[in-house]
């Protein structure tokens, strides 16, 4: 995984973090989209653990 990928993932994490309180308050956001974000976040942390 290159630096470009990891920085892109960091961007995703920021989106996920920023989105969480918003998502919990708003039923309008569809759960499928939220699940995808959570899935990406989990994957990112798996990669982090593998790097260490």
Which residues does 23 contact at the CB level (< 8 Å), separation at least 6? 29, 34
Alpha helices by DSSP H, listed for 1-52, are 3-25, 31-51
- What's the pLDDT score for residue 50? 85
The 10s digit of each residue's pLDDT in 1-52 is: 456 666 666 666 566 665 555 444 555 556 777 788 788 888 888 888 887 7
Query: Residue 23 is encoded by which pair of tokens?
Result: 């998502």
Cα–Cα distance between 43 and 46 in angstroms, integer? Answer: 5
**pTM (predicted TM-score):** 0.36
User: Is residue 9 a contact partner of residue 41, using CB atoms and an 8 Å limit?
Assistant: no
- What's the pLDDT score for residue 49? 86
């Amino acid at each position: 995984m290159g630096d470009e990928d990891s920085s892109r993932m960091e961007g995703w994490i920021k989106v996920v973090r920023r989105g969480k309180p918003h998502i919990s308050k708003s039923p309008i956001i569809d759960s499928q989209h939220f699940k995808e974000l959570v899935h990406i976040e989990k994957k990112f942390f798996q990669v982090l653990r593998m790097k260490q």
